[in-house]
Copies of this chain bind each other. A is one copy, B any other.
Amino acid sequence: MALIVQKYGGTSVANADRIRSLANRVGRFKQKGHQIVVVVSAMSGETNRLIALAQEITPNPNPRELDVIVSTGEQVTIGMTCLALQELGYKAKSYTGSQVKILTDESHGKARIINIDGHNMQKDLAEGYIVVVAGFQGCDAQGNITTLGRGGSDTTGVALAAALKADECQIYTDVDGVYTTDPRIVPEARRLDKITFEEMLELASQGSKVLQTRSVEFAGKYKVKLRVLSSFQDEGEGTLITFEEDSKDNNMENPLISGIAFNRDEAKVIILGVPDTPGIAYQILGPIADANIDVDMIIQNQGADGTTDFTFTVHKNEMSKALAILRDKVQAKIHAREIKGDDNIAKVSIVGVGMRSHVGIASQMFRTLSEEGINIQMISTSEIKIAVVIEEKYMEPAVRVLHQAFELETA
């Protein structure tokens, strides 16, 4: 007997038929003798419908009240899911985030989980209930309803698995696992049976949509065994996210590169001709952080003339806001020559723990792109990742040639 947390996204609960099919799947696990906690998202489209409703009143809804409104999406789904399980003869009980309770900080719309009280759920599981929990939501210490932000249901699943010390957290999606890259762009892309937690984290943060970055971080922090599966196929083992230690023995056999991620959602902000003095980075990025704008890549290049060029990337939606802040509050103070933006970019990243023990991966990547005539605008690396920013129109060809160059289509 195992304790399994299963998370189902919006498409898996899109209508009554889908919910019935979900209940059938959950029931099969229950019949094998497992204890099951199900985490569900809102029915697909529902969160957007609720946001649109709020925006009929005001384009900038108060975050506390917006959370009150949008959190009803998952609340409906947990009730529906319990009804479907009960209809099949199972004992089932639903919990909102507040009822669990999933304690978060007070950042409405992107709250972070602080603690989960697993006591009531454990009691229900011991009594044979299937427990159904609303993803994406929690409450702060004052009892205000909070939401975790888009994709937060994955995080709820992993956090519950950690709190309940579950044997496995299964994330059901509309794909049957983690692929070497998006099969819509590279038809030869291959499903991975396993991927290390660190690789998954890099892939997620570099743009792979399969798992939300924070849920992977959470899984790593609490060593939650995570598996990505298809909610539309009955067979298949999906992709298991492992911890590197588990697979250390056969590390030498690991492929150099596990996957290629990409992202069209970023834009570049460039500050040219800044006198190169200490504290420049903080003077530039401080006001950006104060405005709650997330920054991804940051690059500073010292020039020959005692000035420096400073470039960073933000979400496309926030480029003009970032530019306005820099022009209004920063440019004069740091004596920057020019501030400009470019949202015609894409980021392509190769990820793999294998690159730790192999030199030459970066140069192979750069050569491959160069042979295709693709100019690299920015480079950022971590121990197991190399990310480049290129012109947006070259994104798909870049992914294809890299997939081929690193022989990802063969296991």
| A contact residues vs B (CB 8 Å cutoff) | 15-16, 19-20, 50, 53-54, 56-58, 61-62, 64-66, 68-69, 71-72, 75-76, 78-80, 82-84, 86-87, 92-94, 96, 98-99, 143-145
Contacts and interface: CB of A to CB of B under 8 A. Distances in A.
Given A53-B80, A76-B50, A87 B58 contact: yes
B83 A54 contact: yes
A57 B80 contact: yes
B79 A68 contact: yes
A87 B56 CA distance: 11
A61 B75 contact: no
Looking at chain A's contact residues, is the secondary structure mostly helix, strand, loop, or mixed? helix
B50 A65 contact: no
A259 to B, nearest CB: 38
A19 B69 contact: no
Contact of A78 (B15, B68, B82, B83): B68
Oligomeric state, in number of copies? 2
Nearest to A78: B68
Nearest to A84: B57
B79 A65 contact: yes
A124 to B, nearest CB: 11
Contacts of A16: 53, 56-57
Given A50-B76, A69-B79, 17 more contacts: A15-B56, A20-B57, A54-B83, A57-B80, A57-B83, A61-B83, A62-B82, A65-B79, A65-B83, A66-B79, A68-B75, A68-B78, A68-B82, A68-B96, A69-B75, A72-B76, A99-B145
A183 to B, nearest CB: 33
A99 B37 CA distance: 25
